[in-house]
Structure 1
Amino acid sequence: MTAVLHAPANADHVVRMTGVHKSFGDARRSITALHGIDLTVRPGEFVCLLGASGCGKTTLLNLIAGLDKPSQGTIELSGSRPAVMFQEAALMPWLTAAGNVELPLRLAGVDRATRRERGRELLDLVRLGNVGGKRPHELSGGMRQRVALARALASALGASDDDASASLLLMDEPFSALDAITRDVLQSELLRVWESTGAAVVFVTHDVREAVRLGQRVVLLSSRPGRVVQEWTTDQSTSDGSGLVEAINRRLREVISDHASA
């Protein structure tokens, strides 16, 4: 059975995947990207998906976002449709920063005064309140990603924060193209914004340290086909997270080695 279901907004989860499989191609030449994924994300939870390149992390995110459909299994969503933030900011070059942030609200039919006020609030939240009139080419890479984050929040949260607990933000390696210093800053900013909004986050990364720093829970996928092989909560780590980083790295090396020898 294949289905995408919608749970009540007050459900105990924002997304629940049960027995999810995803294959590409016809029966003779099909490639299985995901196999038997069971994953639940609770309201307000920050979950990091970790795994080697090609393990199906982005495919899983696309299924949650509704950009693709599972071959088998069910995906149950509560609240509004998830918002997605990609590795590239993908801002509209002809719009200002404020215009980019307001775009999802405009498409949702929010009136001009409300969306402008909301856009200002979200730009202030990502500490870009003074660049609303600038266009993307006038901003640094880190600033463009902040604008993209504000736009994703506009899509996820809508015109107010009243239903933030049912909101879900999907992030596909959004900081991987940035330099180390900018990446460090934006990781801190993301945690601050997440704590401020209360939205749930599913964050895809191949960086173990990033996963441990950001996530409350780290979910490791096997190499293709992607399966959930282990999960960790970050309170299992030492004060600086080094113990958990090493444990996850060790398990990741095992998963990659097992795949290579198969």
Structure 2
Amino acid sequence: MTATLSSSEHVQSATAVRLTGVGKVFGRGQRAVAALDGVNLSVAPGEFVCLLGASGCGKTTLLNLVAGLDAPTAGTITLNTSRPAVMFQEAALMPWLTAGRNIELPLRLAGFGRADRQSKVAELLDLVRLSGSGHKRPHELSGGMRQRVALARSLAATQRVKGTDEPALLLMDEPFAALDAITRDVLQGELLRVYERTATAVLFVTHDVREAVRLGQRVVLLSSRPGRVVQEWSTEDVTDTEELTEEITGRLREVISTHAGR
């Protein structure tokens, strides 16, 4: 498939999700606003893709379309996974439930029995390094800890009962943007560790180039509104991440400058 509107191509033998010619327009007539236009993008099973762009370029809109929270006005979205799990910038935990109960909720909705739920909650708490905090409520946790619970809950939402083997897809909308720099750095490292252990496909939205290069196996750049895929980079086998970061930053500046000069 063509993953960019430049000359590069990215071919996958299988996909977790594929967007073909996807467009999204809000409103009608003279008040219509085109958020996305002709987006072609695929994420392979187990692949970590970072979607990068300036504020207002349609990144979150694209994520909402993949999540099924809204429908495209043009093109098609093909999911070869179970319903995607979503993690937002805010943890959005149920304040009256403990951390463990928050994580358990999607498992209950997916039809897991009580024993399986308890086992998986314990496993997920351990995975995000919160084994001793399952009994605490959100207000008793720090911002970073709440985001760990939100990550565990999202991973719980990718779980399926025995007999189903659909690959999982996790959609992440700037989940660390509201955190301080040190906590954000720690959680980026934790996310990579969790990703390596779970092999869940991830589509991660960010406007931070360094974050995209650190986390993604592939970085996809959207133009300013209406969002189009203009270029992508593979981070695999890259020895100088600083050089790649500077290259992507320069391209992002070009995209923003072109939009500002219209």
Q: Find the counterpart in structure 2 of residue 147 from structure 1.
A: 149
Q: Find the counterpart in structure 2 of residue 25 from structure 1.
A: 27
Among 120, 132, 135, which residue is 2:134 paired with?
132
Between the aligned partners of 2:146 and 2:158, the Cα distance in structure 1 is: 18
Look up the SS of the partner of 2:55 in the other structure.
coil
Contact 1:88 1:174 in 2 (8 A): yes
Give deviations 1:22-48, integer Å, cap 9, x for gaps.
000013321000000000000000000
Shift of 1:79: 2.0
Between the aligned partners of 2:90 and 2:239, the Cα distance in structure 1 is: 33
Give deviations 1:184-228, integer Å, cap 9, x for gaps.
110000000001001000000000000000000000000000000
Between the aligned partners of 1:33 and 1:238, the Cα distance in structure 2 is: 35
Give deviations 1:136-189, integer Å, cap 9, x for gaps.
0010000000000000000012357x84x7100000000000011111110000
The percent identity for this pair of structures is: 71
Shift of 1:236: 6.2
Q: What are structure 2's unaligned runs of at least 5 residues?
A: 1-12
Give deviations 1:88-122, integer Å, cap 9, x for gaps.
00000000000000000112222111111111111
Task: State the TM-score, normalized to the length of structure 2.
Answer: 0.92
Divergent runs of 4+, >4 A: none
* Pairing 1:215–2:196 present: no
Tell me how large the CA RMSD over aligned residues is: 1.5
Look up the SS of the partner of 2:230 in the other structure.
strand
Q: Find the counterpart in structure 1 of residue 7 from structure 2.
A: none
Q: What are structure 1's unaligned runs of at least 5 residues?
A: 1-10
Q: Find the counterpart in structure 1 of residue 202 from structure 2.
A: 201
**Paired residue type of 1:51:** G
Look up the SS of the partner of 1:89 in the other structure.
coil
Q: How many residues are treated as equivalent by the alignment?
A: 250
Look up the SS of the partner of 1:166 in the other structure.
coil
Look up the SS of the partner of 1:34 in the other structure.
strand
Among 71, 74, 83, which residue is 2:73 paired with?
71
Task: State the TM-score, normalized to the length of structure 1.
Answer: 0.92
